[in-house]
Chain A
Amino acid sequence: MSIRVENIEKKFGQFQALKNVSLDFPTGELVALLGPSGCGKTTLLRIIAGLENADSGRVFLDGEDASDTHVRERQVGFVFQHYALFKHMTVFDNVAFGLRARPRKERPVESEIRRKVHQLLELVQLDWAGDRFPSQLSGGQRQRIALARASRRATCFAAR
Chain B
Amino acid sequence: MSSLAVGAASRSADAAALGLRSPKYFEARTATRDPKWVKWTLVTLGVSYFVLFLLLPLITVFYEALRKGWEVYANAIIEPDAWSAIKLTLIAAAIAVPLNVVFGLAAAWAIAKFEFRGKQFLITLIDLPFSVSPVVAGLIYVLVFGANGWFGSWLRDNDIKVIFAIPGIILATIFVTVPFVARELIPLMQAQGKEEEEAAIVLGASGWRVFTQVTLPNIKWGLIYGVILCNARAMGEFGAVSVVSGHIRGLTNTMPLHIEILYNEYQFAAAFAVASLLALLALVTLVIKKIVEWQQTKSIAASQKSAL
Question: Which A positions have Cβ atoms within 8 angstroms of B?
Answer: 49-51, 71-78, 80, 82, 84-88, 97-98, 101-102, 132-133, 135-140, 149-150, 152
Q: Told that A51-B201, A97-B200, A102-B204 touch, could you supply 16 new A-B pairs with CB distance under 8 A?
A: A51-B202, A71-B202, A72-B202, A72-B206, A76-B202, A77-B202, A87-B196, A101-B203, A101-B206, A133-B303, A135-B306, A136-B307, A138-B2, A140-B2, A149-B199, A150-B203
Docked CA distance A54–B224 (Å): 39
Question: Is the beta-carbon distance between A84 and B198 smaller than 8 angstroms?
Answer: yes
| B303 CB → nearest A CB, Å | 4
Docked CA distance A16–B2 (Å): 38
A80 surroundings in chain B (CB, below 8 A) = 195, 198-199
B307 surroundings in chain A (CB, below 8 A) = 135-137
Question: Which B positions have Cβ atoms within 8 angstroms of A?
Answer: 2, 5-6, 195-196, 198-206, 209, 213-214, 217-218, 303-304, 306-307
A139 surroundings in chain B (CB, below 8 A) = 5
Docked CA distance A73–B201 (Å): 9
Docked CA distance A92–B275 (Å): 52
Docked CA distance A3–B150 (Å): 61
Question: Is the beta-carbon distance between B214 and A78 smaller than 8 angstroms?
Answer: no
Docked CA distance A80–B198 (Å): 9
Q: List 21 A-B contacts (CB under 8 A).
A: A72-B205, A75-B204, A76-B202, A84-B195, A84-B196, A84-B198, A85-B196, A86-B200, A86-B214, A98-B203, A101-B203, A101-B209, A102-B204, A133-B303, A133-B306, A135-B303, A138-B2, A140-B2, A150-B202, A150-B203, A152-B203
Q: Which of B2, B195, B206, B217 contacts A88 (CB 8 A)?
A: B217
Question: Is the beta-carbon distance between B203 and A97 smaller than 8 angstroms?
Answer: yes
A102 surroundings in chain B (CB, below 8 A) = 204
B201 surroundings in chain A (CB, below 8 A) = 51, 71-72
A82 surroundings in chain B (CB, below 8 A) = 195
Q: Which of B200, B204, B214, B304 contacts A135 (CB 8 A)?
A: B304
A140 surroundings in chain B (CB, below 8 A) = 2
Question: Is the beta-carbon distance between A49 and B203 smaller than 8 angstroms?
Answer: no
Question: Which of A49, A51, A73 neighbours the largest number of chain B CB atoms within 10 Å of its CB?
Answer: A51
B206 surroundings in chain A (CB, below 8 A) = 72, 101
Docked CA distance A123–B63 (Å): 69
A77 surroundings in chain B (CB, below 8 A) = 202
B5 surroundings in chain A (CB, below 8 A) = 138-139
B195 surroundings in chain A (CB, below 8 A) = 80, 82, 84
* Across the A-B interface, the 10 shortest Cβ-Cβ residue pairs: A98-B203, A84-B195, A101-B205, A84-B199, A135-B303, A88-B217, A136-B306, A135-B307, A78-B202, A101-B204
Docked CA distance A71–B201 (Å): 7
B203 surroundings in chain A (CB, below 8 A) = 97-98, 101, 149-150, 152
B196 closest partner in A (C-beta) = A84
| A119 CB → nearest B CB, Å | 17
| B188 CB → nearest A CB, Å | 13
B304 closest partner in A (C-beta) = A135
| B302 CB → nearest A CB, Å | 9
A87 surroundings in chain B (CB, below 8 A) = 196, 218, 303
A50 surroundings in chain B (CB, below 8 A) = 202
A133 surroundings in chain B (CB, below 8 A) = 303, 306
A152 surroundings in chain B (CB, below 8 A) = 203
A84 surroundings in chain B (CB, below 8 A) = 195-196, 198-199
Q: Which of B6, B200, B202, B214 contacts A49 (CB 8 A)?
A: B202
| B121 CB → nearest A CB, Å | 20
| B109 CB → nearest A CB, Å | 17
B308 closest partner in A (C-beta) = A136
A73 surroundings in chain B (CB, below 8 A) = 204
Docked CA distance A98–B214 (Å): 13
Question: Is the beta-carbon distance between A101 and B199 smaller than 8 angstroms?
Answer: no
With A78-B199, A80-B199, A87-B218: A136-B303 Cβ-Cβ less than 8 Å: yes
| B16 CB → nearest A CB, Å | 14
Docked CA distance A56–B177 (Å): 45
With A136-B303, A138-B2, A139-B5: A86-B196 Cβ-Cβ less than 8 Å: yes
